[in-house]
Amino acid sequence: MADKTFFIDTTRCTACRGCQIACKEWNQNPATKTKNWGSHQNPEDLSFVTYKLVRFSEVVSGGALRWYFFPDQCRHCVEPPCKDAAEALGYKKAIMRDAATGAVLFNQTAKVKAKDFEQIKEACPFNIPRYAPTKMVMAKCTMCIDRVSNGLLPACVKTCPTGAMNFGDRSQMLTLADKRVRELKAQYPKAQVLNAKDVRTIYLIIDDSVRYHKFAKGQGPAGMTRIMAMNKLISPLMRMAGLKG
């Protein structure tokens, strides 16, 4: 099976939240108690039981009000910094990457300490990993690896009525993304795809990324954080000294 990639065309998103619910349903995650907090974005944030969230953002652009929708989820990075961070912290099997699809997966049987999770979360440029302190387990989007490995589309893509969510071989998705950017450029000069080379969840947006979501494009370069770099540097020494990183 070829390398897989999501292409999320936010210009086609109507924020129906079909993806958000289909994700909940397929992963058998319980509902989250929501409240009116001044936005239609509900629940407020991703969580241990919410892998997919349509973010709503109201901005004034060129004197007009714009309402941007951003169906947020794990980017399944080509070189996942969370995996590096986990390994640097001594968790060899907590985060895996599926060789066939490229999906980055959190091992649901691997216990992670709360303070270590904080570092793993910090390593993610997109603020995706979530944690259940009672279970000591991390969770996020799985690329519906069970579905994809059996020839089905991820639940969020299958359910999307507007064509905002797309999924397939990486080369096909990149071609589709290019085509859409070219179509949109004339009307929206800021039309762009985010981190196409580095991630397997490629977003197409038509304005500055921070106007959609603080972490839309990723905070800082999609690489190692200071703590991770330090851990990577010292881990061989720690191993030599017989200590756990």
Binding site for other proteins (CB under 8 A): 1-2, 16-18, 20-22, 25-26, 31, 93, 96-101, 103, 105, 142, 145-153, 155, 157-161, 163, 165-169
Q: Specify the residue, 164 or 224, whose C-beta has the smaller distance to other proteins.
A: 164
What is the CB neighbour count within 10 angstroms for residue 224? 18
CB of residue 25 to other proteins, shortest distance in Å: 5
* Full strand arrangement of the beta sheet holding 4-9: 165-169, 4-9, 201-205, 192-193
What is the smallest separation between the CB atom of 62 and other proteins, expressed in angstroms?
30
Nearer to other proteins, 22 or 184 (CB): 22
Q: Which amino acid is at 207?
A: D
The distance of closest approach from Cβ of residue 154 to other proteins in the complex, given in angstroms and rounded to an integer, is 11
Q: Please state the closest distance from residue 161 (CB atom) to other proteins, in A.
A: 4
Contact predicate 15/40, CB 8 Å: yes
For other proteins, the closer of residues 17 and 211 by Cβ is: 17
* Nearest CB to other proteins, comparing residues 158 and 238: 158
The beta-strand segments (E) located in the chain are 4-9, 53-61, 64-72, 95-97, 104-106, 130-132, 137-139, 165-169, 192-193, 201-205
Angle between helices 81-88 and 114-123 (to 10 degrees): 150
Q: How far is the CB of 12 from other proteins (least distance, A)?
A: 10
**What is the rounded CA–CA span in Å between residue 54 and residue 15?**
6
Shorter beta-carbon distance to other proteins: residue 201 or 225: 201
Gyration radius of the chain's alpha carbons = 18
Shortest separation between residue 105's beta carbon and other proteins, angstroms: 6
CB of 87 or CB of 207, closer to other proteins: 87
SS3 234: helix
Q: Pinpoint the alpha helices (H) of 41-151.
A: 81-88, 114-123, 145-148
Tell which phi-psi region holds residue 194, choosing left (phi > 0), alpha (psi between -120 and 50) or beta: beta
Closer to other proteins at the Cβ: 7 or 126? 7
Q: Residue 146 CB, nearest distance to other proteins (Å)?
A: 5
